[in-house]
A and B are shown apart, each in its own frame.
Chain A
């Protein structure tokens, strides 16, 4: 006998539990709400937290976009899309503006998000204080006591050692002036996009069984010192060799033979959209 698969993979009981945790996460911005993370048919560490959020959210009318490190076509993004589409039949898109649920790993899209969109971020390590203490009950207590001296100390040590903050991805943020939160491994370039975002941002960590959130129009500040202010990765004077974009997050490409450095948009669908619209303009003007 064959049983019909559940819509959106999960039984309704599993969805309810994730939904309750998500509502609490939204009500306590930046606080990691524990939930009973489920076994998923993709490997842990490959976005099971984000996937569980997406499955608890999605309905027949939704349009889904999944990106991995800026790319819609990466193996990981494609396998997540396949699973969601197989169990829901929802429409998929590469265009950020067409999607109302966007699941992402390592990036917030370049295209500004809107109020009617939800961004789901996959999180491998949700605990910003894990380097301060390996024990969960200790980090939970630090959050409870608003004791973030350890997080500050780590940043301070980096400055002492390297003359700057070397967090790279996942630079911690203060949410609503209360909780220090790991924004997931997005580059510092994307941190400011969380500040007063139009879209709701949900973060899911499958292995660590945590859901947390940044509601829209919420104060999100990257940790920094007065004399060592927070700074994004700078691409000053550089532009995408394909679409010419500036002020976006660029990947550096080094030619093995010549050693020449070129740059390319990390957000591939953004780059494609710019190329296509440039082409359309060209066609229009040649017919004019």
Chain B
């Protein structure tokens, strides 16, 4: 694998930080290998983000509808030493594309959201989407956003509704990192107010 653990991951981190500080901003990660798409059928960006923030100190859980979730879990564990755990305990929840609406909605409601003393002890989600864009989708505003922005993730309304109820009691909540097939990433932290766009 042609990933430089020092310099490539430093750049991935800066992208993640920039996106977390500026919700809805979409940045591109440099393509590191063309292999993943064919071999493992998930976005390389998922793996790059996982390599950047996971290690033996943290746990994760993968939501997927096929055994590709298990394969990815094995790969991430072997590269980062991070351990797989339950949804309720996971520091990171990684979501692969698939027919998994139910499981995602359930995970959203039961995953860690921190407590008032330690709001940082909450789950960070890394979510695979088809294509991210700033055309259509949800309208967002809040810290890091100059006025307001549009963010298209292709996720269903109920996802956002459940997410919104998860961040109602700020500072409790979850932070979301979206990645797509073009190695683009974008973030929606708990401070972001998300409005569903009215459908026709």
Contacts and interface: CB of A to CB of B under 8 A. Distances in A.
Contacts of B171: 28, 31, 178-179
A59 B30 CA distance: 15
How big is the A interface, by class? 35 or more
Contacts of A57: 13-14, 17
B97 interface: no
Interface stretch (A15-23, A125-133, A163-171, A249-257): A15-23
Interface in B115-155: 115-117, 119-120, 122, 124, 143-146
Contacts of A28: 119-120, 171, 190-191
A166 B22 CA distance: 35
B42 to A, nearest CB: 22
Which secondary structure characterizes the binding site on chain A?
A: mixed
Given A23-B53, A26-B189, A215-B143, A31 B120 contact: yes
A216 B21 contact: yes
Interface of B is mostly: loop
B114 to A, nearest CB: 9
B157 interface: no
A23 B124 contact: yes
Interface in B1-52: 5-7, 9-11, 13-14, 16-18, 20-22, 52
Contact of B20 (A17, A27, A56, A179): A27
Nearest to B190: A27
22 contacts: A6-B6, A7-B7, A12-B9, A15-B13, A16-B55, A16-B57, A22-B17, A24-B120, A25-B120, A26-B17, A26-B20, A26-B21, A27-B20, A28-B190, A33-B120, A56-B13, A57-B17, A59-B14, A140-B117, A200-B17, A215-B22, A216-B144
Contacts of B17: 19, 22-23, 26, 57, 200
A145 interface: yes
A29 B143 contact: yes
Interface of B: 5-7, 9-11, 13-14, 16-18, 20-22, 52-55, 57-58, 115-117, 119-120, 122, 124, 143-146, 170-171, 175, 189-191
Contacts of A259: none
A176 interface: yes
B10 A27 contact: no
Contacts of B124: 23
Nearest to B114: A28
Nearest to A20: B53
A85 interface: no
A30 to B, nearest CB: 9
